[in-house]
Structure 1
Amino acid sequence: MNQHDAVPVVMSFAGNDPTGGAGIQADIESIISMGCHAAPVITALTVQDTAQVIGFAPIEAELVIQQARAVLEDMPVAAVKIGMVGSIEAVQAIHSILMDYPDLPVVLDPVLASGGGAELADDEVIGGLRSLLLPLTTVLTPNSLEARQLAPESDNLDACAMSLLDQGSEFVLLTGTHENTPQVRNTLYGNHRKLETFTWPRLEGSYHGSGCTLAAAIAGLMAQGTEPLSAIHEAQEFTWQALNHGYRIGMGQRLPNRLFWASTQDHDDT
């Protein structure tokens, strides 16, 4: 029996991280964890370890388009996740693709800098994200630093989120790991107002790929037909558990264990 219709396809636009902690591998693991099939479109090659990004090379925009269209014309893609784009040309390429598939839910994780602080998006890319991709975004998942960069005219985080809604995103989930609070507070905005605040225990240390994990999980759940509000809540729970089960195998940040559910299941069955 052909079961392909039972496995939703999520297309992910992201850079390749050779540590496997962030970028396309993070997306693939999260999408699989949501019961979906990942269709990865590489936007950039990076040179990095768990502590810092050393350099990156954007993939030629025409290759980004060719990767995506080859899959879109072959598979029933049910949702799109966008991470690191690498160049303004890639932003324009992704915009041209999404314009042909206006019904697809889009989750945008605006990757502007690495966990170690290296810049991954210049002013031109940031402007392109604002003008070309935000109007096509269903759920935007900036951390507080990214929100301030995307809405520099705003004087507080609530105002940043409102500005991002005004620029076209249907929902903004603003994550609070970078804020100096005892617990992590993630805030959801939509319909021109603050909808809900989620509070999570703050874990020790820092993690490589947490934003990728969250955004890809939301996309996977939405591909399954989950409504955005439920997907946003469930994906946060998955991400927190992945971080809580994380491990430090390099000399820098810890890596999320996005397959924690598999090892837990194996343990329970023994």
Structure 2
Amino acid sequence: MNQYLARLPPPMVLTFAACDPSGGAGLQADLMTIAALGCHPLSVTTALTVQDTVGVASVLAIDADCVEDQARTLLEDMPVAAFKIGLLGSVENLAVIAEILADYPGVPLVLDPVLASGRGDELADQEMISGLREILLPLTTVLTPNTLEARRLATADYDADDDDHPTLADCAQRLLSFGCAYVLLTGTHDSSPRVVNRLYGGAGGGLVRSDAWDRLPATYHGSGCTLASALAAQLAIGLPVSEATRAAQEYTWLALAAGFRAGMGQHLPDRFFQMHQARGGRLDG
């Protein structure tokens, strides 16, 4: 009996995210990913959403006082090895989360800037983007934007219809100048035959590593949440940023490759693909 009582707890990762009833993205995606990688997930709900695999119909932000109470209660009880942030719900939530995280400067933070759904539903206005730049990026260890998000965050007057965009390398440098330690630019929204993800930052602020992955034929609901949560879990385990980034990408690609179409929209990643493979595949083969 004593051997069970003496077991040390796994690393704990606290995610701030919105509830996704489909289980494809948001809080549910974070919890599954963190657990699949051997960490214990803790969660703070920032918003309730009405959505499915096709898109987001509505978002109801949780009151900022409730968000703070959720987080403070957990943090007073359990040690957290890494934080992950997804959809914030409101600028008020952004401000209170930043205030909380400022009390834990030694704990790595992965920020997934959820600015729109996979279908293109807008989930962040200009006030939210300004708050991300000014309040959260200085606290961030790794920012994980796709190319569209990187340009919106890096450019104050961003216009998607304007062909005169800064290069992605320039966007990475601008984002680093806002205070985050690293930027992982993902190539999921490019039209290249392979997805190329580039990590910038560190002491010199330059390109740290570049990883290329075969582009899968389907589109996926929750791929960004999966990558950011996997990265937070790898940092919680103790891997350095570069190694954690590679490991998180590999896990995410394999989860996507094993994904399935549950509804009428995008495919869902299989975050427990390792367990399913060990059992000989899902019941449908």
- Separation (CA, whole Å) in 2 of partners of 1:58 and 1:95: 16
Aligned to 1:235: 248
2:170 counterpart (159, 168, 175): 159
Q: TM-score under structure 1 normalisation?
A: 0.97
How far off is 1:152 after superposition? 1.3
2:144 counterpart (122, 141, 145): 141
1:259 counterpart (252, 261, 272): 272
1:81 counterpart (76, 80, 84): 84
- Alignment coverage as a number of residue pairs: 268
Deviations 1:224-270 (A, max 9, x none): 111111110000000000000000010000000000011112229xx
SS at match of 2:77: coil
Aligned to 2:191: 180
Aligned to 2:160: none
Q: Is 1:99 matched up with 2:112?
A: no
Taking a change above 3 Å as real, the CA distance of residues 181 and 91 of structure 1, as seen in their structure-2 partners, is same
| Rg larger for | 2
How far off is 1:196 after superposition? 1.5
SS at match of 1:6: coil
The answer to whether the Cα contact below 8 Å between 2:55 and 2:117 also exists between their aligned partners in 1 is: yes
- Separation (CA, whole Å) in 2 of partners of 1:116 and 1:72: 35
Taking a change above 3 Å as real, the CA distance of residues 3 and 36 of structure 1, as seen in their structure-2 partners, is farther
How far off is 1:5 after superposition? 3.1
Q: TM-score under structure 2 normalisation?
A: 0.92
How far off is 1:3 after superposition? 5.2
SS at match of 1:5: coil
How far off is 1:33 after superposition? 1.2
Partner amino acid for 2:169? Answer: D
Aligned to 1:225: 238
Aligned to 1:21: 24
- Separation (CA, whole Å) in 1 of partners of 2:6 and 2:100: 27
Q: Is 1:207 matched up with 2:220?
A: yes
How far off is 1:4 after superposition? 5.8
* CA RMSD in angstroms, aligned pairs only: 1.2
- Separation (CA, whole Å) in 1 of partners of 2:88 and 2:94: 6
Deviations 1:133-192 (A, max 9, x none): 000000110000100100115611110011111111111100001011111011110131
Partner amino acid for 1:169? Answer: C
Map 1:22-41 to 2 at 5 A: 22-41=25-44
The answer to whether the Cα contact below 8 Å between 2:21 and 2:52 also exists between their aligned partners in 1 is: yes
- Separation (CA, whole Å) in 2 of partners of 1:77 and 1:183: 35
Aligned to 1:9: 12
Structure 2: runs of 5+ lacking an equivalent: 157-164
SS at match of 1:267: coil
2:119 counterpart (90, 113, 116): 116
How far off is 1:118 after superposition? 0.3
Taking a change above 3 Å as real, the CA distance of residues 184 and 3 of structure 1, as seen in their structure-2 partners, is farther
Structure 1: runs of 5+ lacking an equivalent: none
Aligned to 2:159: none
Taking a change above 3 Å as real, the CA distance of residues 162 and 3 of structure 1, as seen in their structure-2 partners, is farther
